[in-house]
Structures are given as C-alpha cells and as structure tokens.
Amino acid sequence: MKLSWGPSAESGRLEPRRVAITGLGVVSCVGLGKDAFWKGILGPGAPEGIRRVENFDPLVWFTPKEARRADRFTHFGLAASQMALDDAGGLEAIACDPDKSGVILGTGVGGLETLEQQLNNLRDGGPRRVSPFLVPMMMANRAAATVSMTFGWKGPCESVVTACAAANQSIGYAARLVASGRCEVMITGGTEAPLTKIGLAAFTNMTALSTSGFSRPFDIERDGFVIAEGAGVLLIEDLERARARGAKIYGEILGSASTADAYHITAPSPGGSGAATCMELALEDAGLNPDQIAHVNAHGTSTPLNDLAEAEAIEKVFGSTGPPVTSIKGVTGHSTGAAGGVEAVSVALSIENRLIPPTVGLINQDPEIRINIVKDEPMPWEPGPVISNSFGFGGHNSCIVIAPVES
C-alpha cells in the first residue's frame, strides 16, 4: 500500500506498515456472526424477497435507554464492531493506545428509520412531538461515534457516505491510516438499515429493485437488486504488532483505490471504464500485476446495467479467462452502504476456508458477460490476492485488495 503517489512514491522515503485483518464482525440476513454468515453464503438456493436481519436484539449490545436513542443502523454497526473486537481477542488482548485507535464506518442513508418515524410524529402531532434526539440518531456519523465512545478510542472517528461504495472506501481509508503509522488499530466497514416504508418506496419507484424478488447476479434474467440491511466490519492493525501479540490473522490489505465515473447519478460509465480504472489503480497500489490476482469478489448487484458494466471492466483488466469471479448478493441481497464490509468479511473467510462461495441465483449466464464466474457449488482454491469491488450511485468506485499473509 503506497503512502504517496507520483515521483515521490519512487524515492523510498516512506516505508508503509503492513495492515493485518485480525477480527471479523457481521450482521446479515443469513445470521449473526461470521460462522452463521459463512454457512449461509455457501448456499444452496436463492432466497426470495427483501433481506431483513431477523431475530436481532439490540439489547445484547445496548442498554434499553441506549437502544431507544440509537437508530437501527447504529445498532448493527456497534454489534458488528463488538463482534470484530471480540474475534480479535478483546480490548485487553489488543492492548492498543486509545489515541492511536480509530473508527471509520461507511453508510449510504444513515438513520433513515428515525427520520421516517419523526416525520410521522411531525405530521400527526406538530413540532413539539419531534424527538430532541432526531439529529444525533439520524446523522450518518452516529454509528462510528457510538463505536468510538463504547471502546474509548480517541483516534480518527469518521464516516464515509458514498452510497454503495461507502464501506469499501472506509476500509481503504482506514488501512492507509494504519499503513502510515497514524493508527495502530482501526475498526472499519459499513452499516445500513434502509428497509423503511419510504426507503422501499424510493428504491422501487426508481426501478432499481427486482420485480421478481430474486437476486440473479450476471444472469440473463436479472431484473434489479434485492435490497438488504446489515453490517460488515473488520478490525485491522499493524501486522508486526498483531504477530507480536499472537493474534489470528485472516489476511492483509495490500492496496485500495477510489475513482469517480463523472458520468451519471445512477448508471455506470459505458463499458465500465471507471470501474476498470479503479481496479487498475488498486493493483498498482498493491504492487501487483493482473495475473497475480487469484479471485475477484464482484459488486454483482443483479441490475442489468451494472452487472454488464462490471463484467466488461473485469474482462478489460483480467481478460475473459481471468480469475474466478463471484457475487454473494444472490444470498445476502444488496445492503448498499454496508455491502463492501459484508463482502470483505466474506473474502477473509474465503481465504481461511479455502473456498470461494458460488454466485447463488445465477442459472443462465448472460452471453454478453464473458468472465469466469463461480456458480452452482463452492469452488476450492489455493488462496491468493483478491480484489473486492464496490460501485455506488453517484459514480463512486472503490476497490480493495486483500491477500493471505506471506512472510
């Protein structure tokens, strides 16, 4: 991972630290925690309809008063962050300096549920019925702030709000803070809870959602994404300190990149040009050539335009006989601002379990899509560097490179 770009990057003056993934946390429609999540994304079968997180009790992570004063996206964000912290050994084992520990969590819409509820209160009862907690509950930075206050971490605490690219961009930014030495430990990823009446109506009326209720990434019959909620979080830290404390290491973040299509508010640039450039820059940041990538974790939302554009971008960068490609959204649906975090967890588990999940829902591959997609069954593999893609409304592109740790 580079710390500078252009001529100064070749001077050798800056030596980045290596960035290890040592904790995983996930809240998803297939279950809470990495074990239930991993079992769920391996299939079989494509579920139908909106992907809600069932049987989630915020009181496991919040007091009753705290839970009432936090939006559902914050509930998810703290739960996944606590899971990641616990998976990494807990605060005592990590023994981090609070001033060098931080939180970067992305979201697309923040506290939409709270906003909807309080608008109803305003309509039904007037201004005095609006909660004084409206702003701190709905603000997009609330999840990150809650995590930092819960853990007592006083380093950078920020939120990235770039639609469906938010979690991936958060991870890339957080990794660069560790690589630079500014932070020792970071919690990073994304959280989202968009399944409200107004959220569902808005996505439906913009014709983004599947009318069939099925997510079919790269399939000839794909007809839109299936919206989901949830959170995916990584705990990352300086590799040397992780090794020194005997931490379990899932992999390391080698590079990241972010670009903009500068084309259209919802549609991707023709031929996936912005996505291709983003992948190429992420590879450059990681110091890798395209033939060194062993797997592509695709954004793969099941929308006609985006799947085709991404496939064209992947083919441009890697060729039609390139590395195996998968999208887990056939199972998880699309959790928008949380998707990149959920998928980063899946990449780490793919490396650990030496299996690539299948693209559930893909039955008849679109003949215009000529990339090497994993379907039907999980694929055993020899883990190597993985590029994970997230592309968002507004033309935001984000790619991260995750790899097994080598000496």
Tell me the CATH number at 194: 3.40.47.10
Domain count, the chain: 1
| 6 occurs within a structural domain | no
- Bridge partner residues of 106 (DSSP): 160, 190
What's the pLDDT at 10?
A: 57
The yes-or-no verdict on residue 235 having pLDDT over 90 is: yes
| 12 occurs within a structural domain | no
CA distance 7 to 173: 22
The yes-or-no verdict on residue 12 having pLDDT over 60 is: no
The yes-or-no verdict on residue 406 having pLDDT over 70 is: yes
Mean pLDDT of the chain: 95
Q: Using DSSP, state whether 261 is helix, strand or coil.
A: coil
| 198 occurs within a structural domain | yes
The yes-or-no verdict on residue 300 having pLDDT over 70 is: yes
Domain range for 34: 18-395
Active site residues: 164, 299, 334
The yes-or-no verdict on residue 8 having pLDDT over 70 is: no
Phi-psi category of residue 395: left, alpha or beta, with phi > 0 → left and psi -120 to 50 → alpha: left
In this predicted model, what pLDDT tens digit does every residue of 209-221 receive, in sequence order?
Answer: 999 999 999 999 9
| 97 occurs within a structural domain | yes
What's the pLDDT at 5?
A: 66
Say what the pTM is: 0.96
What's the pLDDT at 44?
A: 76
CB atoms within 10 A of CB 342: 31
| 11 occurs within a structural domain | no
What's the pLDDT at 298?
A: 98
Assign 3-state DSSP to the chain and report helix, strand, coil percentages, each to 5: 40, 20, 40
| 1 occurs within a structural domain | no
The yes-or-no verdict on residue 344 having pLDDT over 80 is: yes
What's the pLDDT at 47?
A: 77
| 115 occurs within a structural domain | yes
Lowest mean per-residue pLDDT among 44-48, 62-66, 292-296, 400-404: 44-48
pLDDT tier, 11 (very low <50, low <70, confident <90, very high otherwise):
low
